[in-house]
Amino acid sequence: MTKLHLSPVFLSVTTLSLLSILSSPFLTHALGSGSTIAVISATSTVCGVAASQPSLSITCYRRTPIAEIITVQPNVSFSAISGGSTFFCGLRSGGYAFLCWDTSNSFFEPRRVYINNTALLQNLSVGDNHVCAIVNDTSHVNKTGTVTCWRGDGNVSRQSPSEGDKFKSISSGSGFSCGILMESNRIKCWGNNAIAREIELGFSDMTILNLEVGGLHVCGVNSSGALVCKGDNSSGQLNVPSNNVLEYSQLALGASHSCAIRRNNGSVVCWGGGGEYNVSEIQGVFFESIVSGSNFSCGLVSRDFSIMCWGPGWPNASGTRLPLGEVLPGPCVQSSCSECGLYPRSEKLCSGSGNICKPCGSNSSLLTPLAPPSFPSAPSPSIVPKSSPSNDLTTGLLVFAIVGSVGGLAGICTIIYCLWTGVCFGKKKVHNSVQPTITRAGSNGGLTSNNSGLNSRSSTIRHQSSRAMRRQRSGTSSKHADRAEEFSLAELAAATNNFSVENRIGAGSFGVVYRGKLKDGREVAIKRGETGQKMKKFQEKEMPIIMVNELGRILDPRVGQPEFNEAEAVELVGYTAMHCVNLEGKDRPTMTDIVSNLERALSLCDGSHGSISSGS
């Protein structure tokens, strides 16, 4: 009898096949997670972000007291919405602001809760009467990943985690929220509900890839790909009917029930709720995403991107499509989606304002590798031959050669980098400050996918619908066209005769400009920054921020009240001007950002009565 040997090539192919299965994303939506559809339980209202429209605005369908379609104002683009008990909130495209609407009124009046072009938001999460979001502060990296929460009245809530906790995702329920910590991938909960602590202890040290919060329970996918639920089980909402590894692709949790989309065919299964959540009305229907309210659930139908609802809180109409038209299956972003590809019909759905990227399996690296497939073992012979010593030696040498080659290559690259930049010798570098020119780029340039993590400062400060801008160096004097030319302070001093008064040609903001001549004969203008006491006093003056809803108080009453878009444009210009006088250059917006913000402010005024841009 011979012993069965598995070649390294076979094992590699097997491992890659398993990893490709595990790399599929665990997309989940719940009572309090951001999506492109939202459910507001108390008023039987369902909202969606409209697709195939110039403005990706919000449209809602309210069943009671009479069935009606409500066009939500303002008519601007949103990337995500999330619903609570009587209200819902929407995150503006770009993440710089979010608004909320009370659905118990006859008309939905917008109320701005947050606006900040530097501390952007992501992962908007609405509970029954509170809102939380993850902060992506581009000016303070140490604050990126922190969570801020607001009460239902729009005021900042004290029920927020500490600033030392950094989260990668969050979800909210009835009086509490939970999130996955960046460093450990473990669950941390907060709020005024005692069950929050119980749920956190229930997950203990478990590594979680995704979690979703319902009324009083939480479900999440662990590192093995299995679904784990903790919390209240009074209605069987924790009793998953079957729990095979990687069986579900999405979750939606309500007050006492849970639903999930099956990965293999897009069908929906629900459990809990005392058996009242019968999915027979939606048999044969496949969904892109699902969300849940307190007592009913809704999903986005794959076939036509319409919305269908079911459950005891949606009686006599379960399984019927809502008259909301096409709804986006995901946010439109300014990206080529090169990482994971484009969503089908992406350009048409976004109406040319971006692309919908396929979600990436960014958490697949945390999944516990599955064991290699087992093979029927041959009957054990009386004598098992040992592996040849020469084979073991050859394998060891091969591993040593691979590791040594990688290490040697890294060392060579490090030495080349040191010699090229002069960093290893402590040589101080000063970047060439030749004024760049601004050129227009396509709508897909400059911004990254929303699945690629935290955005850069230059890209996130811009509105999604603004045209992306890119810098190019003027002239061809640089030896390396794709690299900023650098000079030492001594070289610049020699070129300007030690910054003499005779070489001074003028003064700019926070600095003096000198005429200089480099060693190669090029004549340049060099700006030397100054940080005198006078500058500090000017920069440290208090500059009041005027919110949109306060703008009418300072305007001449004869002009009349500004429209919502006009007020937002004035606020954006004021915000940009305020940051232009920051003392440190790194805190001031780039010229690209300034032009982009002014462009956006002008576009907000387009079509407004009496505005400059309309020509009236």
Give the CB-side neighbour count of residue 330, counting CA atoms within 13 A.
Answer: 23
Cα 495 versus chain centre, distance: 47
H/E segment holding residue 576: helix 564-580
Q: Distance (Å, rounded) from C-alpha 99 to C-alpha 104? A: 16
Nearest residue to 525 (alpha-carbon basis) of 501, 498, 497, 496 = 496
Distance CA 469, CA 458 (A): 10
Return the H-helix or E-strand segment holding 177: strand 176-181
What strands, in cross-sheet order, belong to the sheet with 523-529? Answer: 504-508, 511-517, 523-529
How many residues are recorded in the chain? Answer: 616
The widest CA-to-CA distance across the chain, in whole angstroms, is 104
Place of tokens 């029920």: 159
Q: Strand 176-181 and strand 187-191: pairing?
A: antiparallel
Q: Which amino acid is at 313?
A: G
Lookup result for tokens 């039987």 = 44
CB 424 within 8 A of CB 414: no
DSSP secondary structure code for residue 280 in this structure: G
- Residues 3, 14: Cα–Cα separation, whole Å: 20
The SS3 assignment for 495 reads: helix
Residues 6+ apart with CB under 8 A from 259: 251, 252, 253, 268, 269, 270, 271, 277, 279, 290, 292, 297
- Whether 290 contacts 250, CB under 8 Å: yes
At residue 459, what is the residue type?
S
Buried b / exposed e over 452-475, threshold 16 CB at 10 Å, is bebbebbbbbbbbbbbbbeeebee
Contact present, 133 and 145 (Cβ < 8 Å) = no
Q: Is 166 annotated as a binding residue?
A: no
Angle (CA) 85 99 43, round 5°: 25
Are 112 and 150 spatial neighbours (Cβ–Cβ below 8 Å)? no
Residue 410 phi, psi (nearest 5): -65, -40
Strand partners, 119: 137
First to last CA, the chain: 94
Give the residue among 537, 544, 531, 528 at the shortest CA–CA distance from 584: 531
Token pair in block for residue 115: 């606006």
Under the phi-then-psi rule, with left for phi > 0, alpha for psi from -120 to 50, and beta for the rest, what region is 481?
alpha
Binding residues: 527
Binding residues for ATP: 527
